[in-house]
Amino acid sequence: MEEITRLILNHYPNATNGSETTEKYLTFLENEYNCDLKKVLFATSLCCDDINISTNFRKVLTRPFAMGGLGGLPFSGFTGMVAYGHHIPDGGDAFIFYGPHIGITDEGILGKMRRPGQQHLTNSCGALMLALERLKATDEIYIPSSYEFDYQQTLLERTMMPFKQQILAADLPHKEITEVAYQCIDKQIHYLIKKTAEEFTCNRVFLLGGIILNTSPEFADYVDIRTFEMIDLKSLEPIQSESILTNEAFMNL
């Protein structure tokens, strides 16, 4: 086993390399779910970082609908999910691949990587590592620097903020913030689908979520898959709204 593989498995025991992952899930979609891959519209909610090419899905499933922005949050929101739902080929399926990414150095340090054409290390995910630095600020009052011209980073930091203590108290905060980001992206994708289910022109949405592990250019990238599921859009319960008026705390105001 390559040293880098050993280092990756040490942190992410279930990680598999990008091309194996692609092969595995595409074969599964075709054989187990009778998907016609030519009629699958692929979408991603991945960080906009140029390094996120680790799986080869894009080569097989063309024209991805790119929902993601900094950190991998689905920044295209409801509007993006509705548009995506409207674009599924007739008789086809939807397939969304999502998650954050984290670099690993040749020595096994998480949160950094050596990129193509460079000798020095840079942060990966840069946006999440910046958010982590800002979470470490002892000043408890959070004031975003520039919302209008840096709104994705601002929203990413706000999304991480409720998990500040959990992230900072972890043995490996770089790893922990990536875990939290995964949970947030996963939750948001499910929520957006539920809210827009009636807009989809297909019956099935396949979801593949995980954490992408970026390695130095000479090695394959890896993916730690966390979920693979099929949502039957016809069986989705509409979102239940709960009356705030009946809330005990509200009544006791």
Catalog residues that contact Zn ion under the rule CB under 5 A. Answer: 47, 49, 125, 127
Listed as own residue / partner, the contacts of 29-35 with beta carbons closer than 8 Å and 24 or more positions apart are 29/93, 29/95, 29/206, 33/93, 33/204, 33/206, 33/230, 35/93, 35/95, 35/206
Residue 213 forms beta bridges with which residues?
A: 102, 222
Write down the least CB distance from residue 141 to Zn ion, Å.
26
Q: In this complex, which beta carbon is closest to Zn ion, that of residue 47 or of residue 96?
A: 47
Write down the least CB distance from residue 101 to Zn ion, Å.
6
Residues 6 or more apart in contact with residue 44 via CB below 8 angstroms = 57, 64, 65, 66, 67, 68, 96, 97, 98
Write down the least CB distance from residue 107 to Zn ion, Å.
21
Q: In this complex, which beta carbon is closest to Zn ion, that of residue 127 or of residue 231?
A: 127
Listed as own residue / partner, the contacts of 115-119 with beta carbons closer than 8 Å and 24 or more positions apart are 115/51, 115/217, 116/217
Write down the least CB distance from residue 87 to Zn ion, Å.
26
Q: In this complex, which beta carbon is closest to Zn ion, that of residue 85 or of residue 173?
A: 173
Q: In this complex, which beta carbon is closest to Zn ion, that of residue 71 or of residue 85?
A: 71
Q: In this complex, which beta carbon is closest to Zn ion, that of residue 29 or of residue 131?
A: 131
Query: How far is 253 from 236, CA to CA, in rounded Å?
Result: 35
Instruction: Check if the beta carbon of residue 116 is closer than 8 Å to that of residue 103.
Output: no
Q: In this complex, which beta carbon is closest to Zn ion, that of residue 46 or of residue 233?
A: 46
Buried b (16+ CB within 10 A) or exposed e, 134-145: bbeeeeeeeeee
Write down the least CB distance from residue 180 to Zn ion, Å.
14
Write down the least CB distance from residue 53 to Zn ion, Å.
13
Query: In a 3-state reduction of DSSP, which class is residue 205?
Result: strand
Category of 72 on φ-ψ map: left (φ > 0), alpha (ψ -120 to 50) or beta: left
Write down the least CB distance from residue 47 to Zn ion, Å.
3
Q: In this complex, which beta carbon is closest to Zn ion, that of residue 80 or of residue 126?
A: 126
